[in-house]
Amino acid sequence: MNNQRYSIQEFVQQTKQKDKHQGIFELETPRFLEVNLNGQIWAKMGTMVAYHGEIKFEREGILEHGFGRLFKKAFTGEGTPLMKATGKGKLYLAEQGKKISILSLQHDALFVNGNNLLSFEPSIHWDIKLMRKIAGMVAGGLFNVRLEGNGLVAITTYYEPLTLIVTPDSPVFTDPNATVAWSGSLQPDFATDISFKTFLGRGSGESIQMKFVGEGFVVVQPLEEAYFSEEPSKS
């Protein structure tokens, strides 16, 4: 019996890293981001799985981005701790087997749920945004990260993402726990469906909806994920 197709050599050949020469961010696989580092990038803490070369990792400094963002993090317990990777080499990032998408911002703005932000170039300006209108409706989920400028951003989703187009005559409603990102031109509002909430007998989930009106897009994933938690929702 010929088991050559199960040999270690074949396994190594099929799974070994391959240079694609696509720039600083490459999708080595749909769930591994390869960073061809020659300088610096920001990445979510805990997402480094391997690297080679001379790379130094530093946790985001307490005053790295000024007192305003420090206050928001301290006051809210916002859950997007960052690390700075500096040096030269190849860095591999992944998070819980999530699918990775690379987005090129070109004078664009994008909001990303902190759970879904993986990495971005230092040329990107970012800030934590308080979603005031949802306060008191759900535990957590009050904050997202606004990214703006020129550069690459890597986001993650559970399974395949779906992008919904928003137009003035066609608003989009989403479950907050399935909402991944949206274009910077949109300002979501929040609404509660009291009758549906009563029917379900629970105080979260589909009874609270994000409403997007205007011109832009919204990215959702096919799994409800509690904002800024470490594990996907089991509900």
The pLDDT tens digits for 131-150 are 655 554 554 445 788 999 99
* Whether pTM exceeds 0.85: no
- Region of poorest pLDDT, from 57-66, 88-97, 226-235: 226-235
So what's the pLDDT on residue 21? 76
d(CA 219, CA 182): 6
CB 99 within 8 A of CB 31: yes
Of the options 3.20.20.370, 3.60.160.10, 3.60.10.10, 3.40.1180.10, the CATH number for the domain spanning 22-220 = 3.60.160.10
**Per-residue confidence at 35, pLDDT binned at 50, 70, 90?**
very high
d(CA 80, CA 177): 16
